[in-house]
Amino acid sequence: MMDAALLRVEELHVSYNTPTGLVQAVKGVSFELGREKLGIVGESGSGKSQTGRAILGLTAPGGEVRARRIEFEGTDLLHADRRTMRHIRGAGISMIMQDPKYSLNPVMTVGKQIEEAFLVHSKDSKREAYRRTLEMLRAVKIREPDRVYRAYPHEVSGGMGQRIMIAMMMIPEPSIIIADEPTSALDVTVQLQVLAVLDDMISERGMGLIFISHDLNLIASFCDRILIMYGGQVMEECNAAELHRARHPYTRGLLDCLPRLGGSQHELSVLRRDPAWLETRGETS
Amino acid sequence: MRASSVLKAAGPGRALPSKLVKASGVIVSLILTFVGLTAVTFTIGRVMPADPVLAIVGDRASQEVYDQVFLQLGLDKPIYVQYLKYLGQLLQGDLGTSIMTAQPVAEDILRFFPATMELATVATLLGVFVGIPMGVLAAVKQGRWPDHVVRVIGLIGYSAPIFWLGMVALLVFYARLDWVAGPGRLDVFYDGIVDPVSGILLLDAALAGEWDIFDNALDHLILPASILGTFALAYIARMTRSFMLDQLGQEYILTARVKGIPEWQVIWRHAFRNVLVQLITIIGLTYASLLEGSVLTETIFSWPGIGLYITKSLFNNDMNAVLGGTIVVGVCFVGINMLSDLLYKLVDPRVR
């Protein structure tokens, strides 16, 4: 699976110059992604979202990205010009965001927003874009695609909004999807539907997925491989199936904090963070 | 919003009554606003310690003449009777007679108001077509030199006294450089040639095919409109900048960039469409406030507009004229607010 890496990230650093000093959000993250589902898990502020945005070159103003290498299908993203970058965004790498309530443009119809994602990377006609959009809406299991095409984002539910988002990001057929907490804003029952849709489309099209979440259980059951991040660094990398055998004290700590149904009802342990984890990793990099 | 979509779901037969209910609601609120506006202005006009009879007869008239005029004006009746009578005349388009010009107030206003409208419209257009791009530019280049330039211009336009700007502009561009024409709406030479069809000189001259007069009118208009426009521009640019900054920070902008859309499209198609929703109210308010007539600008440029008319009438104790002018301005204000509400609903799908 790993022989044809789509994306190579080596020694990625993201830092922000703030009035109170330099904040290092990501400190030397390296990984490779093939046609697989890679989970990145970590607490708030561990740098997982920043990693996703840095790959797309969409770090917020004031942020600085350094890396030894960010390579996508042989293209060096660190030194790519704006045109190349724009072509890669959407058509090469795409991203699904947390809450469709904010990530869809409120004054544009759903259909126009999806069509736009297709047309910006294609020379096809508007008619073809319309046809593809309806097809895509059907593919994400939306029952009345004609009606939803003409609807505005405030007229659809959260789960539907997220499926629309998936349709929009998939329509230019990118090789990689970054899903940044795609189900955190949804109800538990809807979460599963959205994940099922995402899973189907990823495996059908043989894409690579970077799934960013703070939900260890979700990631373990959904992804093939997991990166555990803490303080802007990768603490541990393991196969999802072998998560329970993880050895790093931070991962163990996270696992111990999860309540289990039917388990013994002793008090849950409290996560202890050891600053030494960051220092040792920092020296080796 | 929920309720209306439920109504729609109930079938097409239910949609019509809900629209009727909405329309009648608008009409009722319009009538109430109108009654309130006239009642307040009328009462203020009548309780002011100024004697409308004296203004007509002068202070040397005999007591008999005074009493006669007093009765003729109906001032012996209770104030609500006077008000109802005024309202009745108003509905027939009769605003009474002006003491100052000895003509029906309605005719006066028809003569003075178009001048203000011409000035206000050009000033607002200037504010919109220069202020909006400036605001957008400032937001996109936040913290860099274009932003600073726009902010300084905004500050000047917003805080420099308009009479001072007007006089300096006249001194520089009219007296020294002779680039534009001086005060007034036309050179004396051209006065009274074109029939006042709309009262808006540019329009009337163009309709009559009198391009010399059109040029001359434009020459006269350009300076006062720019001065008034600077104020509109400063306000609109400032608001555009802050709305735009707000929208550019929203997550759907990140979505648009993730899709690989060119940056100018991200700005104008995505962010600006949302800014426009908020700007409509700002532009409407700016236009309405300019339509009230800027007394200072109209005074400096001898511009025969409604602001000047109301002020002069006030100094002459000419209550009918003041009332009439105030009511016309008020009606304009209400009308423009309604129009911007309608436009708002057209642009923003969430409030439809």
**Domain annotation covers residue A273:** yes
Burial (Cβ within 10 Å: 0-12, 13-18, ≥19) of residue A222: buried
Quickly state the pLDDT bin for A280 (edges 50, 70, 90).
low
Q: Is the pLDDT of residue A161 over 90?
A: yes
**Domain annotation covers residue A200:** no
On whether the CB atoms of residues A115 and A168 are closer than 8 A, the answer is: no
**Domain annotation covers residue A112:** no
Quickly state the pLDDT bin for B16 (edges 50, 70, 90).
low
CA distance A178 to A160: 19
CA distance A206 to B41: 74
**To the nearest whole angstrom, how far is the Cα of A268 from the nearest Cα of chain B?**
36
User: Hey, are the CB atoms on B348 and A107 less than 8 Å from each other?
Assistant: yes
**To the nearest whole angstrom, how far is the Cα of A61 from the nearest Cα of chain B?**
10
High-pLDDT (> 90) share of chain B, %: 24
- pLDDT, chain B, mean: 85
On whether the CB atoms of residues B131 and B233 are closer than 8 A, the answer is: yes
Which H or E run contains A26? strand A21-33
CB-closest option in B257, B261, B350 to A106: B350
Q: Provide the residue ranges of all domains of chain B, joining segments of one domain with +.
A: 2-91, 105-351
What's the Cα-to-Cα distance from B197 to each of A189, B166, B205, B249, rounded to whole Å?
68, 29, 10, 49
Provide the phi-psi class of B260: left if phi over 0, else alpha when psi is between -120 and 50, else beta. Answer: left
pLDDT at B55: 75
- Provide the token pair at B300: 């400096």
Helix (H/G/I), strand (E/B), else coil: A211? strand
pLDDT at A1: 43
**To the nearest whole angstrom, how far is the Cα of A251 from the nearest Cα of chain B?**
31
**Domain annotation covers residue A263:** yes
Quickly state the pLDDT bin for B233 (edges 50, 70, 90).
very high
Q: Is the pLDDT of residue A195 over 80?
A: yes
- CA B41 to chain CA mean position, Å: 18
Q: Is the pLDDT of residue A26 over 80?
A: yes
Q: Is the pLDDT of residue A281 over 60?
A: no
Q: Is the pLDDT of residue B7 over 50?
A: no
CA distance A59 to B225: 44
Q: What is the pLDDT of residues A132-151, one digit of tens each?
A: 999 999 999 899 999 999 99
First-to-last C-alpha distance (Å) of chain A:
26
User: Does this model's pTM top 0.80?
Assistant: yes
Q: Most A CBs within 10 Å: which of B4, B257, B259, as the mutation test of the A interface?
A: B259
User: Hey, are the CB atoms on B259 and A58 less than 8 Å from each other?
Assistant: no
For residues B269-274, give the mean pLDDT. 93
Q: What is the pLDDT of residues A220-244, one digit of tens each?
A: 888 999 998 988 888 888 888 887 7
A86 touches chain B (CB under 8 A): yes
The dotted CATH code for B105-351 is: 1.10.3720.10
pLDDT at A264: 65
Q: How many domains does chain A have?
A: 1
- Provide the token pair at A214: 């703070």
State the residue range of the domain holding A30.
1-92+227-285
**Domain annotation covers residue A144:** no
- A residues 109-148 closer than 8 Å to B (CB): 109, 116-117, 120-121
Q: Is the pLDDT of residue B184 over 90?
A: no
Q: Most A CBs within 10 Å: which of B252, B276, B346, as the mutation test of the A interface?
A: B252
pLDDT at A282: 44
Widest pairwise Cα distance in chain A = 63
Q: What is the pLDDT of residues B42-53, one digit of tens each?
A: 888 777 777 778
Burial (Cβ within 10 Å: 0-12, 13-18, ≥19) of residue A155: middle
CA distance A140 to A75: 30
On whether the CB atoms of residues A133 and A114 are closer than 8 A, the answer is: yes
CA distance A93 to A11: 20
ipTM: 0.88
Q: Which residue has the tokens 């007296």?
A: B175
pLDDT at B71: 83
Q: What is the pLDDT of residues B328-350, one digit of tens each?
A: 888 888 889 888 888 888 888 88
For residues A239-260, give the mean pLDDT. 78
For residues B13-22, give the mean pLDDT. 68
pLDDT at B6: 43
**Domain annotation covers residue A10:** yes
B38 touches chain A (CB under 8 A): no
- pLDDT, chain A, mean: 87
Q: Is the pLDDT of residue A104 over 90?
A: yes
Quickly state the pLDDT bin for B12 (edges 50, 70, 90).
very low
Q: Is the pLDDT of residue A155 over 80?
A: yes
